[in-house]
Amino acid sequence: MKRFSRLMAGAIVLLLPLSSAGAAAPEPAALFEAKTVAKRDSTLAALEAAAPGDPAATYAAGAGEFFTALEILAGGLHRHGFDSPQSFMLPLMRLPVPDNANPEPLTYDQFRAILVAFRDRLEKSAATLGSVPADADIGMVIDLIRLGIDLNEDGTIAPDESAAAIMASLSRGGGAPDAAAPAFTFRFDRADGYWLQGYAEFLMAQADFWLAHDFRNTFDGSFHMLFPHAKLPLQDTLVPLDGGKGGGILTSEWRLADFISLVHLINWQVVEPERRQAARRHLMEMIRLSREDWKAIRAETDNDREWLPGPQQKGASPLTGLEVGEQQVQAWLAALAMAEDLLEGRTLLPHFRIADKGINMKRFFDEPKPFDLVLSITGPAIAPYLERGKILTSEEFNQIQRQFGGAGFLTFALWFN
């Protein structure tokens, strides 16, 4: 469980690959060792200017753009008094944002704007990382305790806002970041650029799926669970008199009640269908990038503090405590093929109530209809996407799962991307 928590933290924080700098650009390491936002932003601007002719600067700029996307999300959450439920059920809401004693009011339109800014910055990062030549010689050693994110919008990047401290906080399931968080040092290379770009696509898919729909009723009826003092419509009625601070969804009665409300209120009309279509394209691109990542990893001949080692790079990862073998890589590539077949509609997703038909996931994204979570689980909402054809079986998936051993498929999936 400890291994999985650490992996989940690493996956959500999405620690960044970096590159060495050429003479024409600022030292890339300075971008991620800056102690102030102003210094970090000026270095990033210089790297972006140098990027067209310098693969190392391009790589570092793309990583920096990803990093600042997380900062946009964290800053927006902090501004409005976000109180994280630390739940795996709300993955974008796990950042350990510090308390804000004087939060600003939050509206539905403002929350959408935060998601749009986060998503658009990720798109810029993915485009920049995608322009790095495949054969670029990239490599930089970085201690994760020295890079960070301004969680509270005070203009500084403090030790308790470092990637290592955030990981330590997440792995404990909440609470204040640990000042003695372990320092992981890695050498990030070209393969890790594909990894980060793939995670940018994954997060864009999530953001675009939300933004494709009108979720105002969900926001108005349950988001005081996440922003208890941001003047949401039901704050005075449903937020406890003591402020309702702290506690996870499963350990707080009021939060559990509001989570049930959230699930019940996920009956969303489609307002931007092109975003739901884009979500599928992002997931397809993530699959492509994961294949490129493993192609690059397996071509490596060194074994120097690898973020994601290949079978030829022996030794347990300090991040996960796991060693990667050929069996896990082959199973992962099979899982990618399975996911691609589902997203392309070549294989249908099974539903527990229906034996002779499956869900065409390509049509689910490309022919969007209102999304009702409960009715999707019980059956009525997925009826328009049912078809006859090849249906994924549980045995096919279980066969892949077994190849990952005791650590489990999800642990490796969060790490492998």
Each residue of 302-333: pLDDT tens digit?
A: 999 999 999 999 998 888 888 999 999 999 99
Decide: residue 253, CB within 10 A, 0-12 exposed, 13-18 middle, 19+ buried.
exposed
For residue 271, how many other CB atoms are within 10 A of its CB? 14
Q: Cα torsion at 202, 207, 211, 213 (round to 10°)?
A: 70
Q: Which two tokens stand for residue 378?
A: 């019980």
Q: What is the DSSP letter of 158?
A: -
Q: Token pair of 152, please?
A: 């509270």
pTM of the predicted model over 0.85: yes
On whether the CB atoms of residues 279 and 205 are closer than 8 A, the answer is yes
Q: How far is CA 221 from CA 102, 214, 257, 309, in A?
A: 22, 13, 11, 45
Q: Which of 78-82, 262-266, 366-370, 410-414 has the lowest mean pLDDT?
A: 410-414
User: How confident is the model at residue 372, as a pLDDT?
Assistant: 98
Residue 224, Cβ density class (10 Å: 0-12 exposed, 13-18 middle, ≥19 buried): buried
Q: Which residue has the higher pLDDT, 72 or 27?
A: 72
pLDDT in the model for residue 168 = 76
Q: Mapping DSSP to helix (H, G, I), strand (E, B) and coil, where does residue 302 land?
A: coil
pLDDT, tens digit (0-9, with 9 covering 90-100), for 47-90: 999 999 899 999 999 999 999 999 999 999 999 999 877 665 56
For the stretch 181-229, pLDDT in tens is 445 889 999 999 999 999 999 999 999 999 999 999 999 999 999 999 9
Percent of the chain with pLDDT over 70: 87
Q: Which residue pairs, CB below 8 angstroms and at least 24 apart, start in 229-235?
A: 229/81, 229/103, 230/80, 230/81, 230/103, 230/104, 230/105, 230/106, 231/105, 231/106, 232/106
Share of the chain above pLDDT 90, in %: 69
Counts of helices then strands in the chain (DSSP H, E): 16, 8
